[in-house]
């Protein structure tokens, strides 16, 4: 967390905050990270955060694998020809 809201976050803080906020399935069990990350990214833009006005999260984070299986199941029920799931993992790794 940035103690002084006028201080600019470091590049490492910014990268970490982006990693946390763009991968909620990996960090959903640590809600305080979202608040800190949001504060860091707002500070990067020269903005402040009034934490008293922010409501607690009202969303449910689901691991990506659960979402992918539901999407694949739905697409299959509609008759779409999909690549095997293992080929998707191989292409995602590089």
Q: Is the distance from CB of 64 to CB of 25 less than 8 angstroms?
A: yes
- On the 0-12 / 13-18 / 19+ scale of CB atoms within 10 A, 30 is exposed
pLDDT digits (tens, 9 = 90+) for 10-31: 999 999 999 988 887 787 778 7
pLDDT digits (tens, 9 = 90+) for 57-85: 666 665 566 777 788 888 889 988 877 76
Question: How many residues are listed for the chain in this entry?
Answer: 94
* Structural domain range at position 94: 62-94
Predicted pLDDT at 60:
62
CA 30 to CA 65: how far, in whole Å? 19
Query: Which tokens belong to 38?
Result: 């949001």
Residue 3 falls inside a structural domain: no
Domains: count for the chain: 2
Side-chain half-sphere CA neighbours of 24 within 13 A: 10
Give the confidence band of 94 by pLDDT, cuts at 50, 70, 90: very low
Residues 45 and 68 placed together within one structural domain of the fold:
no
Residues 44 and 76 placed together within one structural domain of the fold:
no
Confidence (pTM): 0.53
CA angle (82, 85, 86) in 5-degree steps: 135
Residues 49 and 72 placed together within one structural domain of the fold:
no
Predicted pLDDT at 12:
95
């Amino acid at each position: 967390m940035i103690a002084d809201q006028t201080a600019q976050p470091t590049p490492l803080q910014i990268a970490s905050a982006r990693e946390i906020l763009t991968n909620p399935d990996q960090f959903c069990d640590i809600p305080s990270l979202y608040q800190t990350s949001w504060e860091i990214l707002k500070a990067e833009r020269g903005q402040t955060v009034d934490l008293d006005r922010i409501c607690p999260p009202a969303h449910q984070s689901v691991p990506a694998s659960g979402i992918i299986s539901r999407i694949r199941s739905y697409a299959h029920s509609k008759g779409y020809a999909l690549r095997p799931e293992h080929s998707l993992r191989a292409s995602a790794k590089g």
